[in-house]
Homo-oligomer: A and B are copies of this chain.
Amino acid sequence: MNAFVYGVGSSNFGKQPEIRVEDLAARAILEALSAAEVDTVEAVYVGTVFGPPGLSQRVLQRVGITRVPVLTIENTCASSTTAFHEAVTAVDAGRWDRALALGLEKMTSVGVGPIEPESSDPEARSGMALPAIYAMSASRYIACFGLTETQLASVSVKNHRQALANPRAQYRAKLSVEDVLSSRMIADPLTLYQCCAISDGAAAAVIGKDRGDRTDVRVRASALRSGGLWDYRSAHVWGFEVTRDTAQTAFEQAALAPQDVDVFEVHDAFTIAEIVATEALGLAPEGRGGELVDSGHTAMGGRQPVNPSGGLLSRGHPVGATGLAQVAEIVWQLSGAAADRQVDGARIGLVETLGGGTAGIDGNGCVVTVLGG
């Protein structure tokens, strides 16, 4: 694609109700513009899930961006990766020379309570909030493939350990498998430390066409899909198929294979999600994702580190901001700017974000982006 990331930025992530959403966004935007060495953009793509109407223009006003087209996009947990996808697609098509992608969410102060969809949503009526959907998937996976509780918990141990080197992460903690397994049960078999947390944060990227600057990070591929109807009798875990299919499109576009990728940020909303994502992305055969954690393959220092930032489990999950935080981490990694969590020699990186879970759809939205090289 003729689309490059000129610069990225983010706020700290965490429960910070005292900081206004405009200020969280401003930190991310100003850092991204500064890193990009640009002052203006021609359009803005914003991802947010719970933001009130008109929020985007209000936060952009805070940094003096007015009069340009603003597209505010909701795609559940993949909202800001979808905004990024739309921005890179538009730049690649020649619609803009330069666009800003922004993700933001203020979850601690905008009254996000238990999700209460309209009664026409059959899963919601049956109590199937996302932790329950992932828990059922985990149980099914354990039954089918013999994953152990220790393997599941090890994902959380790895990601929290990696977050120790990420000063912007919500939770930085040295946890043992025992700590994870003995934390409060949320939805069997998922304990508290196996679930990502509500958070506040913002992240941004400036995207433009090739300007001949070797520090810009090329967008090699970006793919977006929604899922199909999920067959409850399927052997595949919820979200596997849409992730696999989206990744396949992205790898074809990038002319790369999974083993060519040096570093990943994947959507570990729950421990089981990272295992399924790494399989769907082609790092392991179906049913053997647990071995990637056992062997250290996906840990820092391993062959293909996954979630060097700490992932959603440790960075926190301000839903509309997560996708661009993943993009920012990969751009920092490919620019050699990841400080104490740098993956040595990282040339190609991949972001995977999976959104959704209502009414039997196998993922409302999935975005896979391949960067670098």
Residues of chain A having any CB pair with chain B under 8 Å: 20-22, 49-54, 56-58, 60-61, 66-76, 82, 86, 89, 93-95, 106, 109-110, 115, 117-118, 120-121, 224-229, 242, 245, 319, 355-361, 364-365
Query: Which chain B residue shows the least CB distance to A241?
Result: B67
List of B residues within 8 angstroms of A226 by Cβ: 57, 60, 66-70
If A53-B76, A86-B71 touch, does A360 touch B61 (CB 8 Å cutoff)?
yes
Chain B residues with Cβ below 8 Å from A95 are 89, 93
**Docked complex Cα distance between A360 and B118 (Å):** 34
Given contacts A53-B319, A66-B361, A68-B225, 8 further A-B contacts (CB under 8 A): A54-B358, A56-B364, A57-B359, A57-B365, A61-B359, A67-B225, A69-B224, A71-B75
- Within the complex, the shortest CB–CB distance from A364 to chain B, in Å, comes to 4
- Give complex CA distance A54, B226 in Å: 11
CA distance A82 to B106 in the complex (A): 25
Given contacts A53-B49, A118-B110, contact A71 B73 (CB under 8 A): yes
Q: Please give, as numbers and ranges, the residues of chain B lying within 8 Å of A118 by CB-CB distance.
A: 20-21, 52, 106, 109-110
Q: CB-nearest residue of chain B relative to A121?
A: B58
Kindly name the residue among A70, A74, A75, A319 whose own CB sees the greatest number of chain B CB atoms within 10 A. A74
A365 CB contacts on chain B under 8 angstroms: 57, 70
Which residues of B have CB within 8 Å of A54?
Answer: 76, 355-359, 361, 364
CA separation between A200 and B103, bound complex, in Å?
A: 29
Main secondary structure of the interface of A (DSSP, over half): loop
A50 contact set on B, CB distance < 8 A: 53
Number of copies: 2
Q: How far is the CA of A82 from the CA of B73 in the complex (A)?
A: 11
Point out which of A225, A355, A364 has the most chain B C-beta atoms below 10 A from its C-beta: A364
A362 to B189, CA, bound (A): 52
Across the interface, which residues of B come within 8 angstroms of A67, CB to CB?
225-228, 242, 245
Chain B proximity of A229: nearest CB distance (Å) = 6
CB-nearest residue of chain B relative to A122?
Answer: B58
Question: Once the chains are docked, how many angstroms separate the CA of A110 from the CA of B61?
Answer: 29
Contact of A229 among B66, B72, B93, B110 (CB under 8 A): B66
- What 8 A-B pairs come out closest when comparing CB atoms? A66-B228, A54-B358, A57-B364, A72-B74, A67-B228, A69-B224, A54-B364, A93-B93
CA A94 to CA B109, docked complex, whole Å: 42
Alpha-carbon separation in the docked complex, A150 to B319 (Å): 50
Name 6 A/B residue pairs within 8 A (Cβ), A-sorted: A51-B74, A53-B76, A54-B76, A54-B355, A57-B365, A58-B361
Which B residues lie within 8 Å of A224 (CB)? Answer: 69
Q: Contacts A75-B71, A93-B95 hold; do A52 and B364 have CB atoms under 8 A apart?
A: no
Q: Known: A93-B93, A109-B118. Contact between A356 and B69, CB under 8 A?
A: no
Contacts of A117 on B, CB cut-off 8 Å? 52
